[in-house]
A and B are shown apart, each in its own frame.
Chain A
Amino acid sequence: MSILVGSETRVITQGITGEYGRLHTLACREYGTNIVAGVTPGRGGQDVEGIPVYDTMVDAREKTGANCTMIFVPAAFAADAVEEAAEAGIELIVCITEGIAALDEARMKRVVTAAGARMIGPNCPGVISPGAKCKVGIMPGFIHAPGKIGVVSRSGTLTYEAVWQLTELGLGQTTCLGIGGDPVIGTTHIDAMQMFQEDDETEAILMIGEIGGTAEEEASQFVKDHVTKPVVGFIAGRTAPPGKRMGHAGAIIAGGKGTAVEKMEAMRAAGIAVAESPADLGSTMVEALAARA
């Protein structure tokens, strides 16, 4: 098994007629993802390379039985798209869009939670389960391989780097997900840790964090209390100066809190094997697995 997405996943793309929506929808389909529909208001009745387009999420879900959506809608309208998906009864909402206002994120998160749905992102690369050939996101499919490692990360391209190192060393993945670096996100490190711990196929977990906030500290405590599988961790940004925002809205050391050193100490205290260098993400996993065997 994998987590979040697999062979049962039936995907709608919201914003399928935009340049990126179209490009990535087709790349996902080529990878093997079951893309069943697209939604662009006003474009109902059209199709994108054979994928039917609907005007509303309710319509698309009822006609296709979709249980997942991938959102490429521009930032100004993305919160509305997320809320429409949640209300339509979609179980998993993967929001790729970046640059959504923080208060919109706070509002849409409440709607998603109230609807009992799960959101990944926003501002994230999405989620992929290589064994099930299911990719719901913008990551390059070819760097992944089926296997037993779960990967969770706040970053995009740094996740690709990590996955590639694992694949090169012969360590395939159950599921890899990017949770996004924004202040309010749907799925946290802790949520991912819990799902990987409960997934029989996942044997070890790679967690990649960044400076800012306290999510990694909380996830470390969760690992200490609840996770029995080997966990490898890395924190990006140990050279970042305080008070300077490093691209992601969440990646800022504020009031002396959220430094890489604090996060790495929390990880070590929880028994997580911490990679000192971003070049050692894969090799640290190899060592952690060897130590457990």
Chain B
Amino acid sequence: MKLHEFQAKERFRAYGLPTPRGIVAEDAEAARAAYTELGGDLAVVKAQIHAGGRGKAGGVKLVRSADEAIEAAEGMLGKPLITKQNAPDGTIVRKVLVEEGLPIAKEYYAAVTLDRRLEVPVLMVSSEGGMDIEEVAEKTPELILREPIDPVQGLPDYRARRACFGLGVPKAQQRAFGAVLKGLAKAFLEDDASLLEVNPLVTTTDDRVVCLDGKLSIDDSALGRHKDLAAMRDEGEEDPTEVRARKAGLSYVNLDGNIGCLVNGAGLAMATMDIIKLHGGEPANFLDVGGSASTEQVTTAFKIILEDPAVKGILVNIFGGIMRCDVVAQGVVDATKALGLEAPLVVRLHGTNMEEGRKILENSGLKIIPADNMKDAAQKIVEAAQ
């Protein structure tokens, strides 16, 4: 689950990490008031959307007067901001963060994420702050330093020091810099983050170290023990269909094709998308109903698939283990009747109680096309959807 920058910075402050003073505004008048309250000449108005690449897209503006603050806020609020990451539609900006400007000495990069090979979180830092880090990783990988984080103890002092020396942080700033790195590791661990990124992490001309930006994503599997963080979810940033699917316990991702898929298990769901494509079709979605879906969940899954106007046919591919084929078959029949489904429907059932399941489909009187195996199913649905 992604947080907004202003939320990430709230979390950073909870761990004693320095951030610029800032105020969230939802309209231009509030942006003006925020500028005045901050009191300095220079301020920054930043669009609060989840997608990265805001700066280049015009979502970050330096302002030097209340009028400029109003103008910047008006230019962003209520309008779509289209960045490299959310193109082509962009995201409507609903909030801006107005922050004090700082006398920046140097920009660094810092991030924490789980390293799947080391199986621990790892701190990544670079002297190339403010840049597109993927570009740095590709062109000058030696400029990204990595320090493993102990999942219980956090970042040891010596690794924080080693990172500071490696980055060439001036002596007067090393103590504060090391403390920030340790704090980022602590925030990552205690908030069960999946990604924490500060780009740039800056030093100021008066030797402060400040998280100028903040990106924080929380591990979905850990939200149960972080009610406060779960409450920060902004569903306005998410695909509404994906939100509904999640609430129904389904895993759904919308794709560009015209063949809807309903499958149990993530691996089989991906393989089903793949085989549709191999036979000349295009999948309209990824949909995993999970290991033990109920009749209601199957109905919800059908509804979600059918809401996509591009869908010209549906392929149901179930390999029953925990999930019984007769339960799925009943769900398919109920949903088809309830929704008055007209698009071609190919159903492939295999595994636990498959004979009972096939009988339910046969006796339903519905125009369901049965398939014997994945290849047969893919061929039939691609042909039927044409």
A interface residues, Cβ below 8 angstroms from B: 20, 24, 75-76, 98-104, 106-107, 109-110, 125, 138-140, 143, 153-161, 164, 181, 183-184, 208, 210-211, 213-215, 234, 236-241, 244-251, 255, 260, 276-279
Contact = CB atoms under 8 A, between A and B. Distances in A.
A247 B271 CA distance: 13
**Closest 7 pairs (CB-CB, A-B):** A155-B267, A247-B266, A157-B265, A158-B267, A101-B222, A279-B375, A278-B271
Majority DSSP secondary structure for residues of B touching A = mixed
Contacts of B151: 103, 106-107, 110
Q: For the side of the interface on B, what is the size category? A: 35 or more
Contacts of A155: 265-268
Given A101-B219, A156-B265, A278 B374 contact: yes
B380 interface: no
Contacts of B265: 155-158, 247
Contact of A251 (B189, B192, B270): B270
B219 A103 contact: yes
B241 interface: no
Contact of B267 (A24, A102, A106, A236): A236
B270 A157 contact: no
B321 interface: yes
With a 10 A CB-CB cut-off, give which of A153, A234, A236 has the most chain B CB atoms. A236
Contact of B119 (A20, A104, A109, A211): A109
With a 10 A CB-CB cut-off, give which of B137, B219, B373 has the most chain A CB atoms. B219
Given A101-B221, A140-B320, A250 B269 contact: no
A250 B116 contact: yes
B7 interface: no
With a 10 A CB-CB cut-off, give which of B119, B121, B271 has the most chain A CB atoms. B271
Interface in B247-290: 251, 253, 255, 263-278, 283, 286, 288
Contact of B134 (A107, A255, A277): A255
Contacts of A99: 221
A103 B291 contact: no
A140 B352 contact: yes
Given A161-B319, A238-B277, A102 B271 contact: no
Contact of A278 (B116, B255, B274): B274
Nearest to A245: B253
Interface in B112-159: 114, 116-117, 119-121, 134, 137, 151-152
Nearest to A108: B151
Given A125-B321, A276-B278, A279-B275, A101 B192 contact: yes
B152 A240 contact: no
With a 10 A CB-CB cut-off, give which of A138, A157, A159, A250 has the most chain B CB atoms. A157
Contact of B374 (A104, A161, A237, A246): A161
B350 A139 contact: no
A213 B384 CA distance: 36
A157 B321 contact: yes
Contact of B286 (A159, A181, A247): A247
A257 to B, nearest CB: 10
21 contacts: A20-B322, A102-B114, A102-B194, A103-B222, A138-B321, A155-B266, A156-B266, A156-B321, A159-B267, A161-B268, A183-B114, A214-B116, A214-B117, A238-B277, A239-B283, A240-B286, A241-B255, A246-B253, A246-B266, A247-B270, A279-B378
A138 B121 contact: no
Contacts of B221: 75, 99-102, 249
B219 A139 contact: no
Nearest to A212: B116
B270 A236 contact: yes
Contacts of A215: 116
Contacts of A249: 220-221
Given A100-B221, A239-B274, 4 more contacts: A156-B321, A158-B319, A184-B114, A277-B374
Contact of B274 (A160, A238, A250, A251): A238
Contact of B373 (A138, A159, A160, A279): A279
A158 B268 contact: yes
A249 B219 CA distance: 9
B80 interface: no
A236 B319 CA distance: 16
Contacts of B152: 107
Interface string B360-386: 000000000000011100100000000
